[in-house]
Amino acid sequence: GESVGLHLPTLSVQEGDNSIINCAYSNSASDYFIWYKQESGKGPQFIIDIRSNMDKRQGQRVTVLLNKTVKHLSLQIAATQPGDSAVYFCAENNDWGKLQFGAGTQVVVTP
């Protein structure tokens, strides 16, 4: 069935380095993608989104890349900081009202 999945369950990154979190999606009809960050004890927090008519979008220290050919989404975090330690979810919204989440990637920032 349709699914959104993450390649790496845990990503360990040294403080100051760049992080790359990957996500694969299977539904080619998906036209909107979102990255969320979830810190311990908190709800998912919106980071950045991208529509299928774009292949790159930048925010503050974050960049999302979309490759529709291989159905792949990535989140790049520049100069990773301790506060970036969290679980990151990609999600697709191809059916209004049904935001479908991937399994999540735990990012651990080491000093």
Give me the residues that bind another protein (CB under 8 A), please: 32, 34, 36, 41-46, 49, 89, 91, 93, 95-104
Closer to another protein by Cβ: residue 26 or 45:
45
Q: Which helix (H) or strand (E) holds 53?
A: none
Torsion on CA atoms 55, 23, 29, 37, rounded to nearest 10 = -90
Closer to another protein by Cβ: residue 17 or 46:
46
Closer to another protein by Cβ: residue 49 or 61:
49
Residue that is written with structure tokens 């959104």 in the block = 4
Q: In whole angstroms, what separates CA 54 from the centre of its chain?
A: 16
Q: Least distance from C-beta 46 to another protein, angstroms?
A: 6
Q: Least distance from C-beta 96 to another protein, angstroms?
A: 7
**Strand spans (E) along 1-111:** 4-6, 10-14, 19-25, 32-38, 45-51, 56-58, 62-67, 72-77, 86-92, 100-101, 105-110
Q: Least distance from C-beta 95 to another protein, angstroms?
A: 7
Q: Least distance from C-beta 70 to another protein, angstroms?
A: 23
Closer to another protein by Cβ: residue 17 or 95:
95
